[in-house]
Amino acid sequence: MAQEAAVVVTKLRLQTLFCGLLSVVVSTTTLAAILPEERADVMYHLYDGGGMTIDGTSLLVRKNVADTYSFSANSYVDKVSSASIDVIASGASEYSEQRDEYSLTGTYLQGSMLLNGGYTSSSENDYDAETLYFNVDQGFFGDLTTFSMGYSRGSDDVMQNGNDAFADTIDRQNYRFGLSQILTPNLMMGLHYEAVTEEGYLNNPYRSYRFLTNPLDINAGFQTATEVYPRTRTSDAATLSASYYFDYRASLKFEYRYYTDDWDIKANNYQITYTHTFGENWIVDIKYRAYQQDQAYFYSDLFSFASLDEKDFRARDKELSEFSTQTFGIGISYQIPYFKGGKYIDKSTINLQWDHIQFDYDNFRDITQNAAVGEEPLYSFDADVIRFYFSIWY
Amino acid sequence: MKTLMLSLLLIVSTASHAAMSKVTAPDFTLKSNIGKNLRLSEYRGQVVLINFWASWCGPCRQEMPVLDELHQSYEALGFSVLGINVDKKSEAADKLLKDIPVSFPILYDNSNAASELFNVDAMPYTILVDRDGKMRYLHRGYKRGYEDKYREQIKALIRE
Amino acid sequence: MQIRLANTQFQRLLTKALMLLLLGGCSVEPWVKPYERQNFADPIMSADRNPVSSSYMHHVYQAREGARGAEGGAGGGCGCN
């Protein structure tokens, strides 16, 4: 089976994993009219699956001033060891690298309006990203309803190890609207919408697609070439959510998201989380999430022809294929009684969360397996994600 | 996009400040943090600022030091602030008071009986009661600057 | 830069829903009184009890799935490619 290696690369970086930025979660606060709590968190995180091991630490510190302003600083480190399917399939050897990220945010409370803004910067040896964002939350009708609006602007620099001539950028904008509504003393619902639009180099300089050496003879094998992507991508996503409180001190949260973009990807996912408290000090969360997506129109595991020009798109990124994932998660949180209500520390918890994710691809094949071209087994893998962290409130 | 923006401008909010027709304030008795139950009618002859607040309300926190300052400034002239906490369980309220200590009495309305009597529909909810026990001014919510209105109204009611 | 929303249906639906709510809600008395909202202040009802952990999970999904947006996160978009 003839298989020509693509340009020799020192490693195949899965830039899919190193999105420029960690999505900074600004809590869509259930009650608009209060500042986030002052706290500090230290977290160790680990992702292990599909041949990749990524671990690292994250730190968050938040301080409030005059009950009117709130500031936070967050740092995040990812250390990667990867021998994933894309790495192995390209013939490259396992690689290691590190990504560092930090964010700063500020919040202002006036009446039932909350103004939020932040900056995040991320860097690794071949990808730099910066994002600036603003959000406004406003309460209406006695604060039963909260309307939120937000905007983010991102700018990424894409580089390639071993090729100093390569440099490109991505310009990104996000627009968000949301509505949270209290329906009964125990039930709250929300509807959130986000549009993302990007322009620039949207693929991965290390990744290739494969095409038949002879379109009339599949047994002649395949060749590879660098992917060809559109220079723009625009997407819409809307999430419907509900949270219900049980008077015996437990909660049930449900979320459904529908996604669509101009690469023809349609996806939906839903998530159910049940939270139960045991006494004053123990909280247990149980979570199930299911995700499903259709492929991008220019995706294929095996193309018949190579791309003719930069508008003849080709992708073999499994993230753009047709696939589904399922997650089973459990989390335990223990409030340390010794630190409760102290002079400097109000509350302190120690937490462990574990999620098990199954990935099943419907049209991405595992070409590391010995099989006839186009008949390799469909790829699937499991991953475990562990978060272990310690939090204090002061 | 434009219609979206326009529809936002159509919002009409319930009045933040109102003058009330001189209805007698409903009477109530609540447990307090100064060791004994307090009854509103016992404050006849004084101007009273009743402030309903909750531990999970941000503007209520911002307002506490302001109310404390008003209480201390005008107490000698026959004025008192009464803070009524509406939390069902007082734990979080007491924690807030530890962070922001105040010198005026705090009453605990755990069963929300007083909140219902006064038709509380915003948080914080501030009512100024004159020396004859009649409700005169109402303020919904709190924003920086409201204390100037409070001060004006308190001085006017004290002089009556 | 012009936004070209992939699906303007979303935009229309959202505008209608908002207008209905805002116009209809103008004269609405809060049917859940402010003093009945204690349950929502309980940390277990919070959308984000553990911001660092949930932020990380959003990143895990966004890096490996095609969909992005409207996760309840509201910050820097993920530059996933």
Quickly list H helices, chain A: 85-89
Residues of B serving a catalytic function are: 57, 60
Q: What is the pLDDT of residues A264-320, one digit of tens each?
A: 999 999 999 999 999 999 999 999 999 999 999 999 999 999 999 999 999 999 999
Residue A196 has pLDDT above 60, yes or no: yes
Q: How confident is the model at residue A1 (pLDDT cuts 50, 70, 90)?
A: very low
Nearest to C33 among B12, B57, B121 (CB): B121
Residue C14's pLDDT is what? 63
Residue A24 has pLDDT above 70, yes or no: no
CB-CB under 8 Å, C35 with B7: no
- The separation between the first and the last C-alpha atoms of chain C, rounded to the nearest angstrom, is 20
Residue A175's pLDDT is what? 96
Cα–Cα distance measured from residue C50 to residue C35, given in angstroms and rounded to the nearest whole number: 26
Q: Where is A114: in which H helix or E strand?
A: strand A113-124
Residue C11's nearest CA partner among A311, B10, A177 is A177
Which chain A residues are Cβ-neighbours of B123 within 8 angstroms? Answer: 33, 142-143
Buried b (16+ CB within 10 A) or exposed e, C62-76: bbbbbbbbbbbbbbb
| Shortest Cα distance, chain C CAs vs residue B89, angstroms | 9
Q: What does each C-alpha distance from A215 to A211, A305, A363 come to in angstroms?
A: 8, 7, 19
Q: How confident is the model at residue C72 (pLDDT cuts 50, 70, 90)?
A: low
Residue B44's nearest CA partner among B137, B150, B130 is B130
Mean pLDDT calculated for residue range C5-26: 60
Cα–Cα distance measured from residue C22 to residue C40, given in angstroms and rounded to the nearest whole number: 23
User: Rounded mean pLDDT of chain A?
Assistant: 90
Q: Where is B129: in which H helix or E strand?
A: strand B125-129
Residue C74's pLDDT is what? 39
* Residue extents of the structural domains in chain C: 1-25
* Residue B67 DSSP one-character state: H
| Residue B37 in tokens | 């139950």
- Give A162-228 as a DSSP string: T-TT-EEEEEEEEEEEEEEEEEETTEEEEEEEEEEEEEE--S-TT-EEEEESSTT-GGG-EEEEE-B
Residue A15's pLDDT is what? 43
Q: What is the pLDDT of residues B66-81, one digit of tens each?
A: 999 999 999 999 999 9
| Tens of each residue's pLDDT in chain B, 160 residues | 555 554 444 444 467 898 888 899 999 999 999 989 999 999 999 999 999 999 999 999 999 999 999 999 999 999 999 999 999 988 889 999 998 999 999 999 999 999 999 999 899 999 999 999 999 999 999 999 999 999 999 999 999 8
Q: Are A182 and C37 in contact (CB under 8 A)?
A: yes
Range of the domain at A388: 2-393
Which domain CATH number covers A275?
Answer: 2.40.160
* B118: CB partners within 8 A, 6+ apart: B25, B26, B50, B52, B125, B127
Residue type, B36: K
Q: How confident is the model at residue A383 (pLDDT cuts 50, 70, 90)?
A: very high
Domain count, chain A: 1
Q: Is A74 near chain C, with CB under 8 Å?
A: yes
Interface test with B, best of C3, C12, C35 (most B CBs within 10 A): C35
- Give A133-164 as a DSSP string: EEEEEEEETTTTEEEEEEEEEEEEEEE-TT-T
